[in-house]
Amino acid sequence: MTTIFQAISNSAKRIKVAIDTKDIGYSQEQNASGETQLQLDIQCDLIIEEELSKMPSIHTIASEEKEHPMVLHPKGRFYVAFDPLDGSSLIDVNLSVGSIFGIYDGAFESSRIVAACYVVYGPRVEMVFAEEGKARLYLLQEGEFEMVKEMRMEEKGKINAPGGTQQNWPTYHKTMIDGLFNEGYRLRYSGGMVPDLHQILLKKGGLFSYPGTSDKPEGKLRKLFEVFPFAYIFECAGGAAIDGKGRLLELDTRDVHDTAPCFFGSHYEIETVRRCYAHT
Ligand code: F6P
């Protein structure tokens, strides 16, 4: 796992440079030499592919940017799924974005996730790496990721981060979200899964929800690259993650790009979701 941590750290440092210095979303434009520039999220995908390829322990990778999984080392053990630049449309407006990684042992299945990680590219670059029941926060300082602390959530938080378009929410979901606001929860939602969940983890509680909606009954967020890694991280940090009823980490996956409705938070809020969704 140390080598995978290293590969992710190296990717994150290179992605930070790409974000700071390269084309920011003007895809298909030509650079000074007349070459077509790659979109930033494709550049980030290639950076991660290159760094992970150096690790013989990695059997296969799957990326949000690639249609199919790619075998790297047939004798390797780990399967790594990643979203190279989640929330990339927020780059144009200079909000925080992130990379997400799920590390699976032997196959892309929720029950086989053995570590997960995300990197936040904000005013500072931070990384959270979770394994063996612990989620640790690292800060990029002078070119290296230094461990800051172990992250532990409390029983209940104050933040409500409701994803999706309200007019497409089921009525019971709206009632639940309104109920939390009526209890005093504060709205905190940037539209980037990584910074929005990072905030809940660092503030030690709250709820992030992305429900099934009338236009997307299976939700928007992808199981292998977004949902399972964050479910694993929340559980390691003492929180919980469900699809409304059951643990996200017990869901099946048929296709690498499958999505699921998802709720991440501290225990009080997740119990609130369970009660609301029990009748559905
Ligand atoms: O996966 C893409 C993403 O940008 C996530 O980072 C974010 O949580 C979500 O979509 C936001 O979706 P919406 O704008 O529908 O709330």
Domain locations along the chain: 2-150, 159-277
Nearest of 54, 120, 114, 56 to residue 81 by alpha carbon: 114
Q: Which ligand 1 atom is the nearest neighbour of the CA of 163?
A: 16
Residue nearest to atom 3 of ligand 1 (CA): 87
Instruction: Give the model's pLDDT for residue 28.
Output: 53
Atom of ligand 1 lying closest to residue 98 CA: 6
Same fold, 2-150 and 159-277: no
Determine if ligand 1 sits within 6 Å of the CB of residue 163.
yes
- Do the bridges between strand 70-71 and strand 113-121 make them parallel or antiparallel, or are there none, so unpaired? unpaired
Quote the pTM value: 0.94
Q: How far apart, in whole angstroms, are the C-alpha atoms of residue 134 and residue 201?
A: 13
> Ligand 1: does its nearest atom lie under 6 Å from the Cβ of 192?
yes
Q: Are 71 and 89 in contact (CB under 8 A)?
A: no
What's the CA-to-centroid distance between 210 and ligand 1, angstroms?
8
Which CATH number applies to 159-277: 3.30.565.10, 1.10.10.10, 3.40.50.2300, 3.40.190.80? 3.40.190.80
The CATH label, of 1.20.1050.10, 3.20.20.70, 3.40.50.720, 3.30.540.10, for the domain at 2-150 is 3.30.540.10
pLDDT tens for each residue of the chain, 280 residues long = 889 999 999 999 999 999 998 655 455 554 444 445 558 889 999 999 999 999 999 999 999 999 999 999 999 999 999 999 999 889 889 999 999 999 999 999 999 999 999 999 999 999 999 999 999 999 999 999 999 999 999 999 999 999 999 999 999 999 999 999 999 999 999 999 999 999 999 999 999 999 999 999 999 999 999 999 999 999 999 999 999 999 999 999 999 999 999 999 999 999 999 999 998 8
